[in-house]
Amino acid sequence: MTQRFYVTTPIYYVNGSPHIGHAYTSVVADALTRYHRMRGDRARFLTGTDEHGQKIEREATRAGVTPQAFVDDVSGRFRGLWPKLGVEPDDFIRTTEERHVAGVQKWWRKVRDAGDLYKGTYKGLYCVACEGYKTEKELLPGNLCPIHERPVETLEEETWFFRLSKYQEPLLKLYAEHPEFVLPETRRNEIVSFVQGGLDDLSVSRSNFTWGIPVPDDPGHVIYVWFDALFNYLTAVDGTPEAEFWPPQVQLVAKDIVRFHAVFWPAFLMSAGFERDRLPTTIWTHGYLLSGGRKTSKTPGLTAVKTPGTTDPTRIADVLGADVLRFYLLREVGFGQDGEFSIPGVITRARAELGETVGNLLHRALPFVGKYFDGRVPYVKDEDLSDLERTLRTRVATLVADVAAAWDVLAMHRALELTIETARTANRYFDETAPWKLAKSDDRTRLGVVIAHVLEIVRAVAVMLWPVTPTKSDELRFQMGLDPLTAHEDADLWPLAWGGLAAHTVVRPGQPVFPKYDPATEAAMLLSLDVRDTEATPKNTPKTMSTEEKTETAAPVVAPVVAPIVAAVEEAPAAIAYDDFAKVDLRLGKVMTAERIPRKDKLLKLSVDLGEPSGPRTIIAGIALAFPVVEELVGKQVVVVANLAPRDFGKGLVSHGMLLAAGPSDSLSLATFGKEYPAGTRVK
């Protein structure tokens, strides 16, 4: 049955050019939209640009142009990027558009009429880079914003306040009754503990600059940029709770702005009269793409620290190809986790999984069709199937269902892993059945069975890859004699049934679908993307064919090696006996609370549940620089050295354990497992 699917990305600030972090969220939204469309759903994908506020006004002044000229230029760069990445939003909203300005003023009046706006004076701290209010508690030493690491400003101005405090209980009820409202769970825990900590009323107008939407009936004020921006999701779908595409099923955000989306946004909507079933279904928070260990960012000073290459998505897509980049973004980083973006990594993935596994499968099979079956997909009778084919079909059917199930819960990395596993399964079947030997033995029936099965699996894989690599999937389909995949409402194109590639279809063999990366081309690619610091070290052993297969097919399959960035190797400590290792009691714990310690800028005080009857332990951990937003830690599963002697940090601070972590102190990651286990589980 056709379902409605409305997905949004944040609308991006136009204070600088788009980078790979923006590309990431938009590629995810595009892939999800394509997935839903190919399942027969009625889908809508919205993105756009956030163009008001003090930050933009200042950037325009710095550039010596009017704010309007400034935002027109930068917004155009975002809009121009999407076609280069194969990203096809249904709408691109700009907050300076009349439809949005009128919509926001309408919703302001609704909120005002509900009695939730009142005038007062705001006195406090503000980070212009976040366009967000800060409390002293959350600042880094030196009065720095924990997200942007830049000094905050002190504001004192007349303002309209929104009665956010009134929504504390309704919000907590929302999170309790609809745990799917904030995903993943760790983010929900953070948000719940933030709201439980108490909500202050929120200043929602500014009066000391003018680049914003005027407050209705109060011309001295402009609407706070987040009140303005969040309503874009509504104003873009014609602005009523009843609109066809309202509410959104998935609102994608990175963790820096989850609080705006999971706390302010539903509170604004409730105030404007939206019932629970008219609120967004899920605010889905993903992690950061890191470059050189830091979040990729428009703010100078936060980008690459070494030379891991450009973060300009246009340049990367121009050199490596949009589909290959899209595949990497969704495959490499577990959705919800942080991940280092690596240009050599894009090439490695593309070569090993798209080229050597998927492309190779097609180019291994097609020559047999030309040589022995008159260029047509062989006809297979049921009675010619062996147990091998029956097992293969069952395995593929399971994988196809599992891939869909992973897409349905936004586990795209897993969906792609299983998609590639489907191709691997077929490659193994090909090796096992050795069609080049069957060709020699003149067993045309058996040869036909094998080749038809391999091609059918390539078809299934191409379909499952289509949301991510639409162009390459259609190229695979073209060589198999199929038309480009075209989604229709009500038509589920997922390869659930065997046999989508009809017998006698005329194949159209051509060049390898995925690029070949010979060492010289690859080195040139890396250099043109500013990646230095590399060593030409072979990483993967290329897949080779037996000599017999080679002579049979003469198909191009041997892919050359990539030059990965090689991490510095530290000298290994001396070996220890197993008994020595066994003395270390490693346990899984769950972080219950996390707080900064005054005047200790590197340390955090955590209480960690190890499932002990005595209750959670206090652990003092030197991880503060990597977790500017301490709430992020709450709910996290961590690995604890549980039998370390207590360590006294003075002033009553005693640590009863140590966390395992890796990486530089300002971007370290905590050791964890892909799955949740009960607190206290032994790590062995």
- Please state whether the peptide bond connecting residue 184 to the residue before it is cis, i.e. omega within 30 degrees of 0: yes
What is the smallest separation between the CB atom of 264 and ligand ME8, expressed in angstroms? 10
> Does 256 contact ligand ME8 by CB under 6 A?
yes
What is the smallest separation between the CB atom of 270 and ligand ME8, expressed in angstroms? 17
**340 membership: H or E segment, kind and range:** strand 339-340
What is the smallest separation between the CB atom of 668 and ligand ME8, expressed in angstroms? 17
DSSP 626: G
| Span near ligand ME8 by CB under 6 A; candidates 20-28, 69-77, 268-276, 548-556 | 20-28
* Closer CB to ligand ME8, 24 or 372, in the complex: 24
| Span near ligand ME8 by CB under 6 A; candidates 18-26, 373-381, 533-541, 632-640 | 18-26
Q: What single-letter amino acid sits at 655? A: S
> Does 289 contact ligand ME8 by CB under 6 A?
yes
* Closer CB to ligand ME8, 22 or 34, in the complex: 22
What is the smallest separation between the CB atom of 301 and ligand ME8, expressed in angstroms? 14
What is the smallest separation between the CB atom of 159 and ligand ME8, expressed in angstroms? 20
> Does 451 contact ligand ME8 by CB under 6 A?
no
Residues with a catalytic annotation lie at 19, 22, 127, 130, 145, 148, 295, 298
What is the smallest separation between the CB atom of 96 and ligand ME8, expressed in angstroms? 13
> Does 332 contact ligand ME8 by CB under 6 A?
no
Residue among 448, 459, 402 at smallest CA distance from 426: 459
> Does 181 contact ligand ME8 by CB under 6 A?
no
* Closer CB to ligand ME8, 147 or 418, in the complex: 147
* CA geometry: angle 264, 269, 271, nearest 5 deg: 95
Q: Which of 5, 6, 24, 268 binds ligand ME8 (CB under 6 A)?
A: 24
Kindly state the number of chain residues that form the binding site for ligand ME8, as judged by CB under 6 A.
Answer: 20
> Does 463 contact ligand ME8 by CB under 6 A?
no
- Rg (the chain; Cα; Å): 28
What is the smallest separation between the CB atom of 131 and ligand ME8, expressed in angstroms? 8
| Span near ligand ME8 by CB under 6 A; candidates 16-24, 240-248, 561-569, 641-649 | 16-24
Specify the 3-state DSSP secondary structure of 436. Answer: helix
Nearest residue to the partner ligand ME8, using Cβ: 21
Dihedral in degrees, nearest 10, Cα atoms 362, 32, 349, 416: -60
> Does 21 contact ligand ME8 by CB under 6 A?
yes
For residue 526, count other CB atoms closer than 10 A to its CB: 22
Dihedral in degrees, nearest 10, Cα atoms 224, 225, 226, 229: 130
> Does 284 contact ligand ME8 by CB under 6 A?
no
Q: Which of 140, 147, 230, 324 binds ligand ME8 (CB under 6 A)?
A: 230
* Closer CB to ligand ME8, 258 or 608, in the complex: 258
> Does 288 contact ligand ME8 by CB under 6 A?
yes
> Does 257 contact ligand ME8 by CB under 6 A?
yes
> Does 348 contact ligand ME8 by CB under 6 A?
no
| Span near ligand ME8 by CB under 6 A; candidates 11-19, 175-183, 506-514, 537-545 | 11-19
Q: Which of 13, 175, 274, 284 binds ligand ME8 (CB under 6 A)?
A: 13
How far is residue 326's CA from residue 400's CA, in Å, rounded to a whole number?
Answer: 21
Dihedral in degrees, nearest 10, Cα atoms 266, 270, 276, 279: -40
Residue among 92, 115, 130, 93 at smallest CA distance from 224: 130
> Does 659 contact ligand ME8 by CB under 6 A?
no
Strands (E), 151-300: 153-162, 182-183, 202-203, 205-206, 214-215, 218-223, 250-254, 282-286, 289-291, 294-295
Tokens standing for 252?
A: 């994608």
What is the smallest separation between the CB atom of 70 and ligand ME8, expressed in angstroms? 15
> Does 31 contact ligand ME8 by CB under 6 A?
no
Interstrand relation of 294-295 and 289-291 (parallel, antiparallel or unpaired): antiparallel
What is the smallest separation between the CB atom of 340 and ligand ME8, expressed in angstroms? 11
Specify the 3-state DSSP secondary structure of 103. Answer: helix
* Closer CB to ligand ME8, 230 or 358, in the complex: 230
**63 membership: H or E segment, kind and range:** helix 54-63
> Does 28 contact ligand ME8 by CB under 6 A?
no
How far is residue 11's CA from residue 47's CA, in Å, rounded to a whole number?
Answer: 6
Q: What single-letter amino acid sits at 225? A: V
Q: According to CB under 6 A, which residues from 41 to 70 bind ligand ME8?
A: 50
> Does 295 contact ligand ME8 by CB under 6 A?
yes
> Does 310 contact ligand ME8 by CB under 6 A?
no
> Does 274 contact ligand ME8 by CB under 6 A?
no
What is the smallest separation between the CB atom of 16 and ligand ME8, expressed in angstroms? 8
> Does 248 contact ligand ME8 by CB under 6 A?
no
> Does 126 contact ligand ME8 by CB under 6 A?
no
> Does 22 contact ligand ME8 by CB under 6 A?
yes
Tokens standing for 269?
A: 């909507």
Which residues share a beta bridge with 162? 117, 202
Tokens standing for 199?
A: 């909500």
Residue among 513, 501, 526 at smallest CA distance from 377: 501
- Please state whether the peptide bond connecting residue 247 to the residue before it is cis, i.e. omega within 30 degrees of 0: yes
> Does 150 contact ligand ME8 by CB under 6 A?
no
Sign of CA dihedral 252, 192, 333, 664: positive
> Does 25 contact ligand ME8 by CB under 6 A?
yes
Residue with tokens 């006698």: 504
* Closer CB to ligand ME8, 175 or 227, in the complex: 227
Which residues share a beta bridge with 606? 594, 619
How far is residue 676's CA from residue 194's CA, in Å, rounded to a whole number?
Answer: 22
Sign of CA dihedral 93, 95, 101, 105: positive
How far is residue 655's CA from residue 620's CA, in Å, rounded to a whole number?
Answer: 5
What is the smallest separation between the CB atom of 97 and ligand ME8, expressed in angstroms? 14
Q: Which residues bind ligand ME8 (CB under 6 A)?
A: 10-13, 21-22, 24-25, 50, 229-230, 232, 253-254, 256-257, 288-289, 295-296
